[in-house]
Homo-oligomer: A and B are copies of this chain.
Amino acid sequence: MSSSEVQFSEQNSKPAAKPLKRKAPAPDAEMHQRTLRLSCEETTQALYVVGTELKVNVSRSAPPRSKYFSVRCSPAVQYRISPPPPPQTDDTLPPLLTPKSTILISMDGASEFANDSKMSVKYYGEKTDVLGKAVVLLTAVEISLDVDADRDGVVEKNNPNKGSWKWGPNGHGAILLVNCDSESISKKKQDSESEEISKVSDLQDMSRMVLRTSGPAQLPEGYQLTLHISQSNAESVRVFRSRVQSHSQLKKLIFKNFIKDYPLVLSKAVLSQKVPYEGGTAETTFFVEGLRFPDKDFDGLITINLSLLEPASKGFPETPIFTDKVVFRMAPWIMTPNTLDPVEVFVCSTADNYQFLKGIRKLVQRCGCKLRVCHEYMNRGDRWMQDEVEFGYIDSPHHSFPVVLDSPRDGYLQDFPYEELLGPDFGYVTREAWNEEVSSLDSFGNLEVSPPVTVNGKNYPLGRIIIGVAFPTAAHGRNMTKVVQDFLWAQKVQDPIALFSDWLCVGHVDEFMTFVPAPDRKGFRLLLASPDAGYKLFQGLQQDGHGQATLFEGLADQEQITVDDILSNQQLREENNYVQGCIDWNRDVLKRELGLEDEDIIDLPILFKVEKENRAVAFYPDMVNMIVLGKNLGIPKPFGPQVNGRCALEAEMCSLMGELGLSCTFIDDFTSYHKLLGEVHCGSNVRRAPFPYKWWNLEL
């Protein structure tokens, strides 16, 4: 016995007689097993990853005529023989070698030095003469690629579920944000467009990933750690490594050195890159940056792999002998319904909307939120703030920020979202319609979201997106572009509903519906424009002797009309019958898809008229097209019939909304919006607080 074998302890030569060594790993179908080859010709070296098992087919490396074998190993090494060698009559004999004899090896903890453990197998002939001996030097390392798989904002160690993703409160899986904001205000571009990290603050938009290793100061020669991603994932993600060891060090950084402290590791151009093994017990931090929102061709899941590579002979590729993987899901873009608290109100200032602005400003002041006015140099006369953008947000356990979805509408307001909204912690996303015709239905007055609902037992705690399209049976209808629809459906967390809005000249769902908060029932009411309710109100006025009350009083350039005139106009009545039919169709869909009862719906007295191409526009300011700021509603002033010194339509609105504890402010938008086929809602937009509910808790 050579001196190098002193540290060995004889073990388990007669497993049939003695129990297996105490710490031998239990058979486990899920355990990662790797085939290890021994050689009687040269000493083998092997790197062992704690938690796996090395499997040696003993007979493979046996010299011809071998009949028995024995195993010895250092104290840190555990092994078992499988299948257990058959009992022998002479129990001084070593275990019998069979073609199936296998040694399963494991080690409990990391090695202090490279090759500090050892196992040897001796082969014996018929007469227990030694025919050969195979020696393997073992080094144990602990390796774990870690993420925040339990979604508490902290990167825990080796979460058993880190390699998969599951929805729900009992689910698991880490989360990525699309880095769609811009840390820089001066040279504005989305952070995801740049392959460099320019500011420390940008790291907050990324998800931490930590490589934890434990082992000798250096790996045995030639072994390497490599991070890698698939080609298709590489379009959606980038990985940076941090060279910065501590937070205090990070603070001292000067801008000049910053980029080289966070080198790019993986990107579309580099799918695989070696990462340093630090030695001892070490942590290397990576920052993972999301680049793309889920879409028709991207389910949102990203896998990042860490492999341990074993050197091969010169010129041969290194072999991955252990791979750890983590899975992220890209956070979806989430819309905010009217029931969420307003944060900022956006309107345009134009040459002719002073009156409107004044009304909005007063309302916003009362609500205590912020007013942001887009000035004429930027809006170039395009006042339809609702139509160019939709405000939403993205959320993760570590960070959250608002994200504006820019419509392919691209009116004169088109530069506003990128130029004025995009900024630090304010993201931007758009979908461009390359091969599709963009219609009025692509304006985001045609994109709304319901408050949280439960439908036949299914919960939608983030509500459901609502868009307007043509009937699928229509030969020549207008629709929202497929790119935008695909984007909305792919977010998954606010399962969209398609309504029929093509019956309207402008074609937006916000022309006939909105949601307001309510203290009872489901926490909200659906408000629907209703010509029937309008006619009923006017008939009541007529019967009460107010048939000569006039609409549009006090408006220049607008012919006044009496209640009697309206009720005697058979053409108008027929047009409104048609409109009511269209709204009823949507009402049926909304009831079914949002699980609403009639008591959840309030019909507002609004008349329409039918114009070119047989499509409808509001006959007087369309009160349902309101801005909802908490309990304060900014409603288009309807200029309805004056009865006893008060507008009968306003009175009805105040009565209906008052029952819900809501306060109505009527804003004169007649000339500057209504006459241009829009109203208060079309001309404004609201950024709201995010849901307290976390999207990853959804049971999808």
Contact = CB atoms under 8 A, between A and B. Distances in A.
Interface in A316-349: 316-321
B473 A309 contact: yes
Interface stretch (A361-369, A514-522, A584-592): A584-592
A584 B472 contact: no
Interface in A270-326: 271-272, 296-297, 305, 307, 309, 312-313, 315-321
A473 B318 contact: yes
A612 to B, nearest CB: 11
B35 A313 contact: no
A261 to B, nearest CB: 25
Contacts of A29: 456, 595
A319 B228 CA distance: 54
A37 B230 contact: no
B320 A272 contact: no
A272 B475 contact: yes
A540 B63 CA distance: 9
A35 B584 contact: yes
A297 B540 CA distance: 57
26 contacts: A33-B592, A35-B584, A37-B581, A39-B577, A60-B532, A60-B536, A61-B532, A64-B543, A100-B598, A100-B599, A228-B472, A230-B472, A272-B473, A305-B472, A312-B581, A315-B614, A316-B578, A316-B610, A316-B614, A317-B470, A317-B474, A317-B502, A319-B471, A319-B581, A319-B585, A320-B472
User: Which 9 residue pairs across A and B have the least CB separation, nearest first?
Assistant: A35-B584, A315-B614, A226-B473, A64-B540, A64-B543, A60-B532, A272-B473, A64-B539, A228-B472
A63 B538 CA distance: 11
A578 B313 contact: yes
A60 B419 CA distance: 49
Interface string A454-473: 00100000000000001111
Contact of A591 (B33, B230, B312, B473): B33
B231 A598 contact: no
A65 interface: yes
A313 B598 CA distance: 27
A661 interface: no
Interface in A470-499: 470-475, 477, 482
Given A297-B296, A312-B578, A272 B614 contact: no
A272 B474 contact: yes
Given A37-B577, A64-B543, A318-B473, 9 more contacts: A33-B591, A33-B592, A35-B584, A65-B543, A230-B472, A232-B482, A271-B472, A296-B297, A318-B471
Given A536-B60, A574-B313, A582 B319 contact: yes
A16 to B, nearest CB: 20
A315 B503 CA distance: 11
A579 B309 CA distance: 16
Interface in A550-597: 574, 577-578, 580-582, 584-585, 587-588, 591-592, 595
Nearest to A65: B543
A34 interface: yes
A305 B473 CA distance: 9
A325 to B, nearest CB: 10
A102 interface: yes
For A35, A230, A588, A591, the residue with the greatest tally of chain B CB atoms inside 10 Å of its CB is: A35
A657 to B, nearest CB: 16
A321 B586 CA distance: 11
B317 A477 contact: yes
Interface residues of A, number: 71
A34 B30 CA distance: 54
Interface string A430-465: 000000000000000000000000001000000000
A307 B472 CA distance: 9
A470 B317 CA distance: 10
A57 interface: yes
B584 A37 contact: yes
A201 to B, nearest CB: 33
Nearest to A229: B472
Interface string A138-149: 000000000000
For A317, A584, A585, A588, the residue with the greatest tally of chain B CB atoms inside 10 Å of its CB is: A317
Contact of A231 (B482, B543, B595, B610): B482
Contact of A456 (B30, B37, B57, B582): B30
A21 to B, nearest CB: 22
A230 B486 CA distance: 13
A648 to B, nearest CB: 14
Nearest to A542: B64
Contacts of A591: 33
Interface string A231-267: 1100000000000000000000000000000000000
A64 B578 CA distance: 22
